[in-house]
Structure 1
Amino acid sequence: MLHLRSPQMLQVLENSLRKHLPESLKEMADDLDPHTNTYQIYSKDPKNCLEFLGTPDAINWRQHLQIQSSQSSLNEAIMGLAAAKLVKVKRTQCVLYMMPQTAKKLVPFLMEDTENLDHKSGRPRAINQEMFKLSSLDVTHAVLVDKFWHFGGNERSQRFIERCIQSFPTSCLLGPEGTPVSWALMDQTGEIRMAGTVPDYRAQGLISHIIYAQTLVMDERGYPVYNHTERANKLMQKMGHTLQHVPMPCDWNQWSCAPL
């Protein structure tokens, strides 16, 4: 191990690391793109992390951004720091789920109450295999996904979806017309996101089928599989129960930040 014996050596190391930043960080160049300008934070000392979050290179508070964390205890520090930086913040708390395959590997103690469940009950109901074909999304489908995404509807959101399709595993069901009628994506945080179904094909169990398919794809590639659901979205929570998604004891928190 190399021991840093002087400030000059530390500066050399910093310059070297900056040249090898992950591509995801290099993409955080648009100050108005909150989808890409995303920070995941976990602190072993949530009550005393204010000093770290306030350092100049930790978070670029001049951007429109979002902070995500499973630790609700970070709220006081983030809110206080945002106020000091003259940043408007909206906090969202959702239910965090982990898929059964991942939960068995990472949090087996949460699976104790589900060991005796019929594993077939964790599968979606059958769909018409002649009408729907399992496939993956093409970048040209970003317009469709963006149209039905709750946070979509603009140039930046569509560009973000395009990058997700190009970079990460996706799943979709093609309808009789050969175009996607239901889909699920993975974003840069490793989470299943932007799942949706076009209105004409809803209430047929397609979203359950596609999320199950996307879970298998991600699990086969070694990704820990998880997602979050708004507390008011009882339909998605019911679907998660059917697919035996495991609710986590912590929340999924997001702080959406915009400079004043």
Structure 2
Amino acid sequence: MKVLNKDEIQTAEEVLLQHFPKSLKVYGFLHGINRNKPSTLEVVVDTWPDFKVIICRPDPKNRRALEFMKKVTYYSMDEQILRRMLAEENAIDWSTYFLIGGFDFSHASMLKEVSAEREVNNKGFTLVHLMYLPDISSLITADIDSELESRVSSLDPSHTELVNQTWKFGNNEQGFRNIKNLISNFPSCCITDDQGQPVSWILLYDYCALGILYTLPEHRGKGYAKVLIRSMARKLHAEGYPVYCFIEEENALSYKLFKNLGFTEDPSYRAGWFEFNF
């Protein structure tokens, strides 16, 4: 097992390009790290340079890691090697709470077995579709509301509390830190009212996926979400970001929205989130 340095992380990002869409979440983290976005992660692989498993995990040397939820993400081309890294090589710290997000759900049984061997409890958090835009030309742009598009701008840190209060994983101090970090360091789009206050918005997670799409209840039904997704997709493409998102299986409305805008998925693939030591 090897911890990658900055130059090696850049090389790994290029390798992961060849494994879309399944590698998108790890790719997104590396994309941010390689562009000097704030990160509390370190990146490890089974071997170098011909790796089969790559894991993003909290960096034990980073003091800021304590301020954020312990998140682990990986991409694996070989489940047996992944199992060995998790079970025998201490690729992750099993002694505290952590969350593995966006993993290939076909690995769920293996993750449960390894955690059981460690006497660590676990629970499934959510199952999601991985939706992505393979090419910006796939973006459906019919029926563009030019007046709405003229009201699109970016969020700024003063909007952190508003977004945090309405985020289903927020409305707490940790959520505030997360939202402030995302608004301050990653692209965002919002639509404002006559007073210049955001009434609808979309952000980018630190793994470069679209998320936290929300419209205040009194402003719904006006097509704001559609305009924001299109605007954000074009912005991300122009700045070299991947364009993708995760949509929970039960969220049929969002799934239909992204599908109708040209996003696609690998129908044989599902991603999952598991919590451990909760």
- TM-score normalized with structure 2 length: 0.72
1:238 maps to 256
Mapped partners of 1:82, 1:197: distance in 2: 39
**What letter matches 1:151 in structure 2?**
F
Mapped partners of 2:143, 2:119: distance in 1: 50
**What letter matches 2:247 in structure 1?**
T
Task: Give 2:155's match in structure 1, choosing from 112, 137, 160.
Answer: 137
Cα deviation per residue 1:149-173 (whole Å; 9 max; x = unaligned)? 1211211011111101111111111
2:66 maps to 30
Cα drift, residue 61 of structure 1: 2.6
Cα drift, residue 221 of structure 1: 0.9
1:67 aligned onto 2:100: yes
1:4 maps to none
Say whether the 8 Å CA contact 1:123–1:242 is kept in structure 2: no
1:82 maps to 115
Cα drift, residue 27 of structure 1: 6.0
2:12 maps to none
Number of residue pairs matched?
227
Say whether the 8 Å CA contact 2:124–2:272 is kept in structure 1: no
2:223 maps to 205
Say whether the 8 Å CA contact 1:61–1:85 is kept in structure 2: no
Task: Give 1:158's match in structure 2, choosing from 176, 188, 192.
Answer: 176
Say whether the 8 Å CA contact 1:89–1:255 is kept in structure 2: yes
SS in 2 for 1:30: helix
> Cα distance 1:81–1:91, how it changes in 2: closer, same or farther (>3 A)?
farther
**What letter matches 2:164 in structure 1?**
D
Task: Give 1:49's match in structure 2, choosing from 56, 73, 82.
Answer: 82
Task: Give 2:235's match in structure 1, choosing from 194, 212, 217.
Answer: 217
Say whether the 8 Å CA contact 2:73–2:103 is kept in structure 1: no
Larger RCO, structures 1/2 (Cα 8 Å, 6+ apart):
1
Larger Rg: 1
Say whether the 8 Å CA contact 2:215–2:224 is kept in structure 1: yes
SS in 1 for 2:135: helix
Cα deviation per residue 1:120-149 (whole Å; 9 max; x = unaligned)? xx1264447279611001012111111221
What CA RMSD, in Å, does the superposition of the two structures yield over aligned residues?
A: 3.0
Mapped partners of 1:136, 1:216: distance in 2: 14
Mapped partners of 1:176, 1:24: distance in 2: 38
> Cα distance 1:130–1:167, how it changes in 2: closer, same or farther (>3 A)?
closer
Q: Unaligned 5+ residue runs, structure 2?
A: 10-32, 34-38, 42-61
**What letter matches 1:143 in structure 2?**
E
Q: Unaligned 5+ residue runs, structure 1?
A: 1-9, 105-113
1:251 aligned onto 2:270: yes
> Cα distance 1:206–1:172, how it changes in 2: closer, same or farther (>3 A)?
same
Mapped partners of 2:63, 2:237: distance in 1: 27
> Cα distance 1:245–1:130, how it changes in 2: closer, same or farther (>3 A)?
closer
Say whether the 8 Å CA contact 1:124–1:209 is kept in structure 2: no
Once the two structures are aligned, what percentage of the paired residues are identical? Answer: 24
> Cα distance 1:39–1:124, how it changes in 2: closer, same or farther (>3 A)?
farther
- TM-score normalized with structure 1 length: 0.76
Cα deviation per residue 1:4-51 (whole Å; 9 max; x = unaligned)? xxxxxx9xx97x959x996332366328x43xx222211111144222
